[in-house]
Copies of this chain bind each other. A is one copy, B any other.
């Protein structure tokens, strides 16, 4: 028996590969889609041209359902005072690495979904278009729907799930606090700066999958996908017991052959570091789950002085580049959820089929 999600999307397996900007492109998406899951292309850090090329590659390599993912934040003005404080905190590191910080200009590292990107989408047939941080303006949601794509977004609270359903989401991801990468938070009272400090984004009240998932399932009528802490077939079965119509796995795919995960990131995933992750705003300005590395332990995990999302990574980029050049992830976002036990350095299609085979009979779905 297929879940509501599988029926809606024509999906062989109830498995979505989480879009992970910066660590994967079309290659991972193709592998997962070809194996019967829903592969995802993260577009938040792509230009329109690269996105066009990546989508062409996907459609040339598979005719199975796939997902393209966008962020939908508002790009803020540069806060000069906070930027200066942030640079001040980074100065000892610039000195250590011999970096001339005066050459670094402030700017955004990620672009929100807009009409230019929607124009690119028109030439393709993605099954799902997904968003993080809520939904874009109504006109953009309508454009996506008119292309025949289903709209997916993530909720970190029951209220966010209700808002998403009321505003046109066809599928809702219940993103438990275990999940790696960016929290999808968008209705917090703490998304604005107060007294010139970085927003807190309600980090302290974020909810675990076990509690969040059934409460969202009981509130909305669209299919709900569980994300956060799921790493194997028993995890998928447990999520379905709690009412999920499918699962979204990110961390589990990070060691796959087709992922672009960096060498230091792969090494950290294979080490004890993977047992200690935290929500940190240091890498982008918004809370995201990363392993604890040097910059997180020395300046974080949450800093009052980090620039607003997505302006925070410009000033750290040269530090990250220098460190990575010598094999160190001390300044890199080491995205990782709270359960890295399912990571395998194999082909993503094989991993997807293993997850599905482990589900045993169809009886529980």
Residues of A within 8 A of B (CB): 157-159, 176-178, 204-205, 207-212, 214-215, 218, 228-232, 234-235, 237-239, 241-243, 275-279, 292, 301-302, 337-339, 341
Contact = CB atoms under 8 A, between A and B. Distances in A.
Contacts of A215: 339, 341
- 3 closest Cβ contacts across the A-B interface? A208-B208, A210-B229, A211-B229
B237 A210 contact: no
A35 to B, nearest CB: 23
B157 A211 contact: no
A342 to B, nearest CB: 9
The CB with the most chain B CB atoms within 10 A, among A234, A301, A338, is that of A338
- Quick one: copies of this chain in the complex? 2
A338 B292 contact: no
A276 B235 CA distance: 26
Nearest to A219: B341
14 contacts: A176-B210, A204-B302, A205-B276, A205-B277, A208-B210, A210-B210, A210-B230, A210-B239, A215-B341, A235-B242, A237-B241, A238-B238, A238-B242, A241-B241
A79 to B, nearest CB: 25
A183 to B, nearest CB: 13
Nearest to A227: B210
The CB with the most chain B CB atoms within 10 A, among A176, A205, A238, is that of A238
Nearest to A291: B205
Given A241-B238, A241-B241, A275-B158, A232 B205 contact: no
A243 B215 CA distance: 22
A208 B339 CA distance: 9
Given A159-B275, A215-B339, 15 more contacts: A177-B208, A178-B208, A204-B278, A205-B277, A205-B292, A208-B208, A208-B210, A209-B229, A211-B229, A211-B231, A212-B338, A214-B234, A234-B242, A238-B241, A238-B242
Nearest to A226: B210
A335 B208 CA distance: 17
Contacts of A178: 207-208, 210-211
A242 B177 CA distance: 18
Nearest to A237: B241
B208 A229 contact: yes
A28 B157 CA distance: 31
A292 B204 CA distance: 10
Contact of A232 (B214, B232, B234, B337): B214
A209 B208 CA distance: 7
Nearest to A279: B204
Contact of A234 (B228, B241, B292): B241
A299 to B, nearest CB: 13
Nearest to A338: B211
A229 B215 CA distance: 10
Contacts of A211: 178, 209, 228-229, 231, 337-339
A226 B157 CA distance: 22
Contacts of A230: 210
The CB with the most chain B CB atoms within 10 A, among A211, A218, A301, is that of A211
A211 B251 CA distance: 12
A86 to B, nearest CB: 20
Contacts of A338: 207-208, 211-212
